[in-house]
Amino acid sequence: MSRIGKQPITIPPKVKVEIKGQKVLVEGPKGKLDFELPQRTAAKVDGGSVLVSRAGDDSAAKALHGLSRALINNMVKGVSEGFVKKLEINGVGFKAAVTGKNVTLNLGYSHPIVYPIPDQIKVTVEENTKVTIEGPSKQVVGQVAAEIRSYYPPEPYKGKGVKYHDEQIVRKEGKTVQ
């Protein structure tokens, strides 16, 4: 039995979980999410918790069992609490600003980079260099943060670029003149 898959998911108050066939719908104060369960897994709402089960004992079914439980747990946590990723921009003249449904990034290129913000995602900028990404879907929040970081990843010599808040940049020593 999958150690993760057999654990029940407790449903917090103000969160509604509905299962229609293979489709799981989760609704809460932060938004709505849905997920299509894989073929070999099933889920049911039992009182104040969700139980995920599987059909079959092959390794693929075991893996899908734990994966499905983890994804549903992330959905429940996302619509009740939400997920947050923080980015920091380092560099002279590097800055970010939110204008409507777009994030405008000035990262030392000849043109500003305009990144459209997906639905259900909230992006805020503090001090022009601290970007906070919030939303109910862990996957979408991580994807938005990774795409913004990919425009100018941190470089190892001066540390310029976009990095995660808790990321450590390994610095290299420059060339020395003899």
Distance CA 41, CA 61 (A): 7
Last residue of a domain, one of 49, 80, 111: 80
Distance CA 28, CA 123 (A): 20
Give the burial string for 46-62 (b: 16+ CB within 10 Å, else e). eeeebbbebeeeeeebb
Structure tokens at 59: 């390794």
Residue 1 predicted with pLDDT over 50: no
Last residue of a domain, one of 36, 57, 80: 80
Residue 41 predicted with pLDDT over 70: yes
The residue segments making up the domain with residue 68 are 9-80
> In this predicted structure, what is the pLDDT of residue 112?
93
Instruction: Check whether residue 41 and residue 56 sit in a common domain.
Output: yes
CATH number at residue 135: 3.90.930.12
> In this predicted structure, what is the pLDDT of residue 174?
85
> In this predicted structure, what is the pLDDT of residue 164?
93
At 136, is the pLDDT very low, low, confident or very high (cuts 50, 70, 90)? very high
Q: What is the domain count for the chain? A: 2
C-alpha torsion sign, points 131, 132, 135, 137? positive
Task: Please list, in sequence order, all residues whose beta carbon lies within 8 angstroms of the beta carbon of residue 170, skipping any fewer than 6 positions away.
Answer: 156
pLDDT cut 90: percent of the chain above it? 47
Mean pLDDT of the chain: 89
> In this predicted structure, what is the pLDDT of residue 147?
93
Per the rule left: phi > 0, alpha: psi between -120 and 50, beta: everything else, 41 is beta
β-strands 31-36, 41-46 pairing:
unpaired
Question: What amino acid is encoded at 164 in this protein?
Answer: Y
> In this predicted structure, what is the pLDDT of residue 2?
59
Instruction: Check whether residue 150 and residue 138 sit in a common domain.
Output: yes
